[in-house]
Homo-oligomer: A and B are copies of this chain.
Amino acid sequence: MRLVIARCSVDYAGRLNAHLPSALRLLIVKADGSVLVHSDGGSYKPLNWMSPPCKLAVTPGRWVVTGKAGETLTVELEEIISDSSFELGTDPGLVKDGVESHLQELLAAQLTVLGDGWRLVRREFPTPIGPVDLMCRDAGGVSVAIEVKRRGEIDGVEQLTRYLELLNRDPLLAPVQGVFAAQEIKPQARVLATDRGIRCVTLDYELMRGADDASLRLF
């Protein structure tokens, strides 16, 4: 990894064109040849960058990075303040806990959140257009397809609608009800879901995780 602090201007030409006027910035060249241009603010996103795979051509005062699809990042170096390189080696990688799949697990184990007497048919119930997160039957034996999201937006409602349309063609399952379950449901998504007869349920992750821990402690 090479770190350069330099006064530079940058141009990108690819899907769009973008230009950065001259200023002091941090340039990072990673082991795979990818280049990041960072300012001293903003978020984790660089001002400009080139993703791997790409090729870096260095000439005095100018770097030209060319990507797989022919897009180019051109860095004009005007003044180099600092230039250093380090061998970091490969990274063991990130371990995550608490994403959608976890939410799905918890809900599958706590169907009483949705109603008494519900039972799980299966998780990741397969359909020709993709898997339904949870397939259940309610106390009356009616099929219910559940879409689980961390944040419920319109796309998720569309997704569930497509599943329901398909599932309702199967006489062994029909009629199939829909439940849209998320930690947070956007107003527009709620309007669309309600308009289509889909029930919306807000999930409390901390509460569900707590209930899960409590049930584990009983054994």
Cβ-based interface call for A77 (8 A): no
Residues from chain B with a CB closer than 8 A to the CB of A110 are none
> Do A26 and B23 touch across chains, with their CB atoms under 8 A apart?
no
* Chain B positions within 8 Å of A5 at CB level: 86, 88
Quick one: which of B51, B129, B192 contacts A188, CB cutoff 8 A? B129
Contact A19 B129 (CB under 8 A): no
Q: Are B91 and A23 in touch, CB under 8 angstroms?
A: yes
Contact check, B44 vs A36: say whether CB atoms are below 8 A apart.
yes
Inter-chain CA distance A191–B25, complex, in Å, is: 46
Q: Chain A 1-38 against B: per-residue CB contact (8 Å), 1 yes, 0 no? A: 10101000000000111111111111010111010101
Spot the interface stretch: A55-63, A93-101, A113-121.
A93-101
Residue of B nearest to A84 (CB): B82
Q: Which 5 A-B pairs have the closest CB atoms?
A: A16-B98, A39-B91, A40-B88, A31-B40, A24-B88
- Check A45 for interface membership: any CB of B closer than 8 A: yes
Contacts A26-B28, A86-B5 hold; do A91 and B16 have CB atoms under 8 A apart?
A: no
| Residue from A22, A44, A52, A87 whose CB has the most chain B CB atoms within 10 Å | A44
Report the count of interface residues on A (CB-CB < 8 A): 63
CA distance A129 to B193 in the complex (A): 11
Task: State whether A23 and B92 are in contact (beta carbons under 8 Å apart), knowing that A1-B40, A41-B31 are contacts in the complex.
Answer: yes
- A49 contacts the other chain (CB 8 A): yes
Whether the Cβ atoms of B44 and A49 lie closer than 8 Å is yes
> B17–A98 contact, CB under 8 A?
yes
**Which residues of chain B have C-beta atoms less than 8 A from A215's C-beta?**
none
- B19 adjacent to A95 (CB under 8 Å): yes
Asked whether, in the complex, the Cβ of A96 is within 8 Å of the Cβ of B129, the reply is no
